[in-house]
């Protein structure tokens, strides 16, 4: 079983729509959680950390459910520039475990 699993998508949504997707993680002792964004053939960049109480950063909302071991990301009012692959990342002490990514394409 993979440590972090994501629906690969793609999620193809019109501008202005809301899109949401989850990832699940296997290690119940995982300590911290993140969403990274990766544009085609570029390096991953931190989008936001995910806190236990849930958190927002502009149009992005992240939620953590420790009991069910999943993390979610919701994007409101999608922009063309949101088209990317979103990586779910879980920190286990020194090591980050990466999901394979969820691809989002926002169309005009």
Partner 1 sequence: NAGVTQTPKFQVLKTGQSMTLQCAQDMNHNSMYWYRQDPGMGLRLIYYSASEGTTDKGEVPNGYNVSRLNKREFSLRLESAAPSQTSVYFCASRGTADTQYFGPGTRLTVL
Give the nearer residue to partner 1 in terms of CB position, either 74 or 100.
100
Pick out residues in 6-25 that bind partner 1 (CB under 8 A).
8
94 binds partner 1 (CB under 8 A): yes
SS3 94: coil
Cα distance between residue 72 and residue 104, in whole Å? 14
Q: Least separation, in Å, of the C-beta of 83 and partner 1?
A: 18
Residues 69 and 14: beta-carbon distance below 8 Å:
no
| Smallest distance, partner 1 to C-beta of residue 48, A | 10
- Classified as helix, coil or strand, 15 is coil
Task: Name the CA dihedral angle for 55, 103, 101, 23, rounded to a multiple of 10 degrees.
Answer: 50
DSSP helix/strand/coil, 85: strand
Q: Quickly tell me which residue has 């236990």 as its tokens.
A: 52
Is 66 a binder of partner 1 (CB under 8 A)?
no
- Choose the binding region for partner 1 from 12-20, 53-61, 74-82, 86-94 (rule: CB under 8 A): 86-94
- Decide: is 87 part of the binding site for partner 1 (CB under 8 A): yes
| Interface ranges with partner 1 (CB under 8 A) | 2, 4, 8, 31-32, 34, 41-46, 49, 87, 91, 94-101
């Amino acid at each position: 079983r993979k440590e972090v699993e994501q629906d690969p998508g793609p999620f193809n949504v019109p501008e202005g729509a809301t899109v949401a997707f989850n990832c699940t993680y296997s290690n119940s002792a995982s300590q911290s959680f993140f969403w990274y964004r990766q544009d085609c053939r570029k390096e991953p960049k931190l989008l936001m950390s995910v806190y236990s109480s849930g958190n927002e950063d502009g149009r992005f909302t992240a939620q953590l459910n420790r009991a069910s071991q999943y993390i979610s990301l919701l994007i409101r009012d999608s922009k063309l520039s949101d088209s990317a692959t979103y990586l779910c990342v879980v920190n286990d002490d020194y090591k980050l475990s990466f999901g394979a990514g969820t691809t989002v394409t926002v169309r005009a």
